[in-house]
Amino acid sequence: MSGKKSPQENLTEISEKIKGSAQREFSEAKDSLMADINEGGFKKLIKNKYFIGVVGLLSVFIFIAISSSGGTPKGTDSVVKKTVIEIAMKELKKQITPAIYTEVTKVPVGLIGLQVTYDDLVKNIDQDDNRKVVNKIDEKMKTISMSLSNIRTKEINEDIKKSTSSADLKINEKTIPITYTAQRNNDGDVYVEVFGL
């Protein structure tokens, strides 16, 4: 028998080489993502080349908060600040979920285009890997603290009961400049939008 390989053997060899290269590249990307997550920063996470396609540089998040007064909500109102923090925490959880899923399961969700959400993992919690991922995400989120500082009112429009504010969002030791609006809707609830996460 000659030393020549069959087409199937050649294909298998090439496939193994590509797989090894992709695993190394993925491992480096995952390590970089997890380092950014461990540092608690949105900006590094968003700038990561594997996250650019998933998360835009400017995100808008909306949340409705219940408030008892009927005036224009201000950026310094406790209900508005609390809602901004809730929105930021939800966005952080959304951003770290694929990276932690990949870390636990070794499935390269970013490379294969798989959409993994925390809510979907919770819905399918009976699957062992999903339980591990959810537990790890929950553990990570417990280590995150967020606060708003340096709040600046940019505009108040009494006619439409809307205010626009800028602030520094502190995530553990990192600070990110954000802008947010608070507006009373027709039902009297406060509608909050956050930009720059």
pLDDT tens digits for range 84-113: 999 999 999 998 899 898 899 888 887 777
Q: Is 182 helix (H, G, I), strand (E, B) or coil?
A: strand
DSSP letter string over 119-165?
A: HHHHHTTTSHHHHHHHHHHHHHHHT--EEEEEEEEEEEETTTTEEEE
Average pLDDT over residues 146-170: 94
Asked whether residue 191 is domain-assigned, the answer is: yes
Asked whether residue 83 is domain-assigned, the answer is: yes
Whether 5 shows a pLDDT value over 50: the answer reads yes
Asked whether residue 106 is domain-assigned, the answer is: yes
Asked whether residue 82 is domain-assigned, the answer is: yes
Whether 54 shows a pLDDT value over 80: the answer reads no
Asked whether residue 35 is domain-assigned, the answer is: no
Q: How confident is the model at residue 168 (pLDDT cuts 50, 70, 90)?
A: very high
> Rounded CA gap, 69 and 143, in Å?
34
Average pLDDT over residues 34-41: 51
Strand bridging mode 174-184 / 146-157? unpaired
Element (H, E) at 166: strand 162-171
Round the average pLDDT of the chain to a whole number and report it. 75
User: In the chain, how many domains are there?
Assistant: 1
The CA-CA-CA angle for residues 156, 194, 85, to 5°, reads 105
Whether 10 shows a pLDDT value over 50: the answer reads no
Asked whether residue 29 is domain-assigned, the answer is: no
Predicted pLDDT at 138: 93
Asked whether residue 72 is domain-assigned, the answer is: yes
Range of the domain at 104: 42-195
Whether 163 shows a pLDDT value over 70: the answer reads yes
Asked whether residue 32 is domain-assigned, the answer is: no
